[in-house]
Structure 1
């Protein structure tokens, strides 16, 4: 049965961040995700989760200097020490929050990067992920890698599903998985039904995310057939969470008609 997590970095922005937990719970969500927890004490975030009956299912490892435009450091040669410190910090938060998944962002490459430089990025990426996966396995946490489209994030190192799955297969760490964001995937390569039917049964996909294409609003807006995609996900028996990583067109609660319809039509009486 598809289960949905509210992304508190994009949803409920009409509220201060600490108040978004209660707002998500009031709308029937049982789980949340967001980009980064590090601006708040882990214990305070855990209290918000517990007070509102929520599970934390995903957040990102430290991405480098986000405000200056960095989008991860895992593939950046020379940043290995910072990457390792960031993974340890993320795992400390995961322990307090009871979160079993952490997304590790790859980082950006230069537009004029040579094949040799790109190969260096990949070697660094593999070495960092191998170290991080071993570290995370010791505390029962899965690490996720996510292909991201180059329109929203120009120069991002990892863009295609096949690239991500190749990394996971090559490293062979059972706790290293792919984060399949259907919004990014549709923009880069499309063919979502085939992608889901090909990749979900492998067990290499740990988390899904949804948003409308092309504007990243509610997932039932735009070119995707949300009803069909959710039927496919249900048919395949995906047991992970689906993160609602979209920017509501108006108020968050007002835009949740898609979720109400899903519950009413398919799983009446269940909380998604």
Structure 2
């Protein structure tokens, strides 16, 4: 009986130790909403698609249908507490309150990783503060007409770009115009602008204060977001921003799908 009890206790301790050694999932906050996009479906596409590729659990705040909406969670001084990364997929370009915008940017400057996609680049563009634009890594105020884009890597050796096609034909998307690239902005891929007759960076990495930021202006349609190329890319970007991406573009141990 004593041997059986000792064996049982040893097994329990071993299982407990293994559980304690297993990395905890990345706790990600997704903020989405605003005008012009199908955020109700995009929140599912992004959260489910990324979690199939990486060890990520989500809290999702999706609200507001106009460009002047102030997302409720941002009203809290400690709005980012408890999260390992924030994925911004929002379209609130007419919010002008500088203090409100700076409160959004502050946790990222202090070190909270960020992933910014599509219309997030144009959010808060009517505010006079530059803090959101510095967080994004670029200033952009307009985009070209929706059309097919040929996206080409310009830094294929970066871990985020591992496995990305030599040319990705992104059907029915929008090319955002780069008005200004801030100092810590690292271009990763670009597409040609038919209106401006020049290339515009549409995938990048950035550092804002102590925070690492992955960004892409791509992702207007559900079709783009649902593609394996896009979901693979954004997953690598999130893992890179949180420090869980290997140099070969694979998830660090414990941060692949299912905690592998």
Is this a same-fold pair by TM over 0.5? no
TM-score, normalised relative to structure 1: 0.35
Which structure shows the bigger proportion of residues in strand conformation? Answer: 2
The structure with more radius of gyration: 2
TM-score, normalised relative to structure 2: 0.36
Which structure shows the bigger proportion of residues in helix conformation? Answer: 1
